[in-house]
Each structure stands twice: as C-alpha cells, then as structure tokens.
Amino acid sequence: MREFILFGCLRQVQPVSTLREMIQNQSNLKFDLTEQHMVTKNSVDQGVVADHIIALESSTRLWQLINFITLEGERYQYLTNDVDLEPGVITFLYRRRWDIENVF
C-alpha cells in the first residue's frame, strides 16, 4: 500500500514520464529484444552476465533487462526504464533497496 501512496506523492513532485522504475523480473514477461550490450569485465559490473534493451508489449518505452548471478550462484533478472545507468549500478541499487528501512 505504501508504494501507491508514495507514487502519488512523487507524481506531484516529478512528472510520471521522468520517474525511474526498477523491479525484479518475473518469468512471464513478454518482450522483444531490440539491442544487446557487451558486458564489461570491470568491478562495477561484477556478476552481470547479460545486458539487453527490450521493448515490452505492455509499454511504449524501452527498458533495460539485466541478468545477474550472485557470488552464491543465485540468478536474478532486473528490469528498469533507466537505460542510461550501468547494469552493475542497477543491480547494486536494487539489492540495496531495503537498506533504508533499517534506518527507521
């Protein structure tokens, strides 16, 4: 419920078209691959195994789909509409998203 309240507040401060979304992908996502980026071997992108730009059937924007493997071998896919960020930054931000909750 807090997400909807927060989204409503953000919409008043920032236009919806500029909001950045970041989610863990579900397996039933329908999309077309539009571009595939080479994954760099730098420390920022450690664990990233694939970086794609996709077109979702349910959206008019392009999205970035990132495949990530943790040091423990767990596989994740992250999806964001911020196609300008490095894939390693996206995975870092998503995995740290709840750290702010520890403050309160």
Q: Indicate whether 58 belongs to any domain.
A: yes
Q: What is the span of the domain harbouring residue 79?
A: 21-97
Give the strand order in the sheet containing 22-24: 22-24, 75-80, 62-69, 48-56, 31-37
Q: 48 near 66, Cβ under 8 Å?
A: yes
Q: Indicate whether 39 belongs to any domain.
A: yes
Q: Indicate whether 4 belongs to any domain.
A: no
Q: Indicate whether 12 belongs to any domain.
A: no
Q: What is the pLDDT of residues 2-23, one digit of tens each?
A: 333 344 444 444 444 556 777 7
Q: Indicate whether 77 belongs to any domain.
A: yes
User: Looking at residue 18, what is its pLDDT?
Assistant: 56
Q: Indicate whether 26 belongs to any domain.
A: yes
Q: How many domains does the chain have?
A: 1
Q: Indicate whether 8 belongs to any domain.
A: no
Q: 33 near 54, Cβ under 8 Å?
A: yes
